[in-house]
Chains A and B, each alone.
Chain A
Amino acid sequence: MFSFLKKILPKKRFKQSEASSSTESPLPKDPDSTQKNTGYQQVFNQKQSRRKAMGTIFKGLTAGTALASSSCSPFMDAEKSEEAELKWDEYFKGHYQLMTDQEKEETVQRLTRLHQLKTQQHLSMSFTPANKGVLFGYAFNISKCRGYMDCVNACVKENNQDRKSKMQYIKIFENKKGSMGLETADSNYFHEVPAEGHFYMGTQCFQCENPPCTKVCPVMATWKEPDGIVVIDYDWCIGCRYCEAACPYWARRFNWGEPQVPQEEVNPNQHYLGNRMRKKGVMEKCTFCIQRTRTGKNPACVEACPTGARIFGNLLDPNSEIRWVLANKKVFRLKEELGTEPKFWYFMD
Chain B
Amino acid sequence: MSTSKSTILKSFLLDALDAITKGGIRYHIWMATLTLIMLFGAYAYSIQLEYGLQVTGMNDHVSWGLYISNFTFLVGVAAAAVMLVLPTYILKDMDFSKAVLIGEGMAVSALIMCLAFVTVDMGGPARLWHIIPGIGVFNWPQSMLAWDVLVLNGYLLLNLLIPFYILFTRYSNKTPEKKYYVPFVILSVGWAFGIHLVTAFLYAGLIAKPFWNSSLLGPRFLASAFAGGPALMIITLGVIRKFTIYDIKDETINKLALIITVAAQINLVMLGSEIFKEFYAPTEHSASAMYLFFGLHGHNALVPWIWTAIVLNIIATVSLTLHPVRSNLNLLFPVCGLLFLAIWIEKGMGLIIPGFIPSPLGEIVEYAPSWVEISITSGIWAMGAFVFTILIRVAIPIELGHSRYIPQPDDGI
Instruction: Point out the residues of chain A lying under 8 angstroms from B143, CB to CB.
Output: 215-218, 242
A-B contact count (CB 8 A): 157
Q: Within 8 Å of chain A (Cβ to Cβ): is B173?
A: no
Question: What per-residue 1/0 map shows which CB atoms of B116-149 lie under 8 Å from chain A?
Answer: 0010011111111011011111111011111001
Residue among A246, A255, A256 with max Cβ neighbours from chain B (10 Å): A256
CA distance A325 to B15 in the complex (A): 78
Instruction: Point out the residues of chain B lying under 8 angstroms from A171, CB to CB.
Output: 361
CA distance A37 to B149 in the complex (A): 32
CA distance A182 to B363 in the complex (A): 9
Instruction: Point out the residues of chain A lying under 8 angstroms from B254, CB to CB.
Output: none
B362 and A183 form a contact (CB under 8 A): yes
B54 and A165 form a contact (CB under 8 A): yes
Pairs A–B under 8 Å by Cβ, sample size 17: A203-B361, A212-B206, A216-B142, A216-B145, A218-B138, A219-B130, A219-B136, A220-B139, A237-B127, A239-B122, A239-B123, A239-B125, A241-B63, A245-B64, A246-B206, A257-B54, A282-B123
B63 and A238 form a contact (CB under 8 A): no
CA distance A183 to B296 in the complex (A): 12
CA distance A236 to B53 in the complex (A): 18
Q: Shortest Cβ distance from A339 into chain B, in angstroms?
A: 8
A237 and B124 form a contact (CB under 8 A): yes
Q: Within 8 Å of chain B (Cβ to Cβ): is A28?
A: no
B360 and A258 form a contact (CB under 8 A): no
Q: Within 8 Å of chain A (Cβ to Cβ): is B186?
A: no
Question: What per-residue 1/0 map shows which CB atoms of B360-394 lie under 8 Å from chain A?
Answer: 11110000000000000000000000000000000
CA distance A56 to B211 in the complex (A): 49
B124 and A245 form a contact (CB under 8 A): no
The count of residues in chain B whose C-beta lies closer than 8 Å to any C-beta of chain A is 52
Instruction: Point out the residues of chain B lying under 8 angstroms from A248, CB to CB.
Output: 207-208, 360
Question: What per-residue 1/0 map shows which CB atoms of A128-140 lie under 8 Å from chain B?
Answer: 0000000000000
Closest B residue to A43 using CB positions: B134
* CB < 8 Å neighbour of A246 from B61, B146, B208: B208
Question: What per-residue 1/0 map shows which CB atoms of A157-175 lie under 8 Å from chain B?
Answer: 0000000010000010100
Q: Shortest Cβ distance from A37 into chain B, in angstroms?
A: 17
CA distance A185 to B134 in the complex (A): 47
- Given A182-B361, A248-B360, A253-B60; A241-B146 close (CB under 8 Å): no
Instruction: Point out the residues of chain B lying under 8 angstroms from A246, CB to CB.
Output: 206-208
Closest A residue to B359 using CB positions: A250
| 8 Å CB interface, B22-81 against A | 51-54, 56, 58-61, 63-64
Instruction: Point out the residues of chain B lying under 8 angstroms from A111, CB to CB.
Output: none
Q: Within 8 Å of chain A (Cβ to Cβ): is B326?
A: no
| 8 Å CB interface, B284-339 against A | 284, 287
B124 and A282 form a contact (CB under 8 A): yes
B residues sitting closer than 8 Å to A (CB atoms) are 51-54, 56, 58-61, 63-64, 118, 121-128, 130-131, 133-140, 142-146, 149, 202, 205-209, 284, 287, 355-356, 358-363
The range of chain A's interface size is 35 or more
| 8 Å CB interface, A206-231 against B | 212, 215-221
- Given A245-B208, A246-B206, A255-B123; A217-B64 close (CB under 8 Å): no
A212 and B127 form a contact (CB under 8 A): no
Q: Within 8 Å of chain B (Cβ to Cβ): is A1?
A: no
CA distance A322 to B20 in the complex (A): 71
CA distance A83 to B28 in the complex (A): 47
Question: What per-residue 1/0 map shows which CB atoms of A234-270 lie under 8 Å from chain B?
Answer: 0111111110111111101111111000000000000
CA distance A95 to B143 in the complex (A): 17
- Given A8-B134, A212-B206, A239-B124; A244-B139 close (CB under 8 Å): no
A221 and B121 form a contact (CB under 8 A): no
* CB < 8 Å neighbour of A238 from B61, B131, B362: B131
Q: Within 8 Å of chain B (Cβ to Cβ): is A47?
A: yes
The 6 nearest A-B residue pairs measured at CB: A239-B123, A281-B123, A248-B208, A257-B54, A256-B54, A280-B52
* CB < 8 Å neighbour of B124 from A183, A187, A238, A252: A238
CA distance A10 to B135 in the complex (A): 11
- Given A238-B131, A242-B143, A255-B123; A338-B207 close (CB under 8 Å): yes
Instruction: Point out the residues of chain B lying under 8 angstroms from A95, CB to CB.
Output: 130, 136-137
Q: Within 8 Å of chain B (Cβ to Cβ): is A181?
A: yes
- 9 further contact pairs, Cβ within 8 A, besides A219-B138, A236-B127: A8-B134, A9-B140, A203-B361, A218-B131, A218-B145, A240-B145, A256-B54, A256-B59, A257-B51
Q: Shortest Cβ distance from B22 into chain A, in angstroms?
A: 41
A247 and B360 form a contact (CB under 8 A): yes
Instruction: Point out the residues of chain B lying under 8 angstroms from A256, CB to CB.
Output: 52-54, 56, 58-60
Q: Within 8 Å of chain B (Cβ to Cβ): is A51?
A: yes
A245 and B206 form a contact (CB under 8 A): yes
CA distance A246 to B355 in the complex (A): 11
Instruction: Point out the residues of chain A lying under 8 angstroms from B359, CB to CB.
Output: 250
Instruction: Point out the residues of chain B lying under 8 angstroms from A240, CB to CB.
Output: 118, 121-123, 145
A212 and B207 form a contact (CB under 8 A): yes
Q: Shortest Cβ distance from A10 into chain B, in angstroms?
A: 8
Q: Shortest Cβ distance from A278 into chain B, in angstroms?
A: 11
- Given A238-B124, A281-B124; A244-B63 close (CB under 8 Å): yes
Closest B residue to A216 using CB positions: B143
CA distance A7 to B135 in the complex (A): 11
Q: Shortest Cβ distance from A167 into chain B, in angstroms?
A: 8
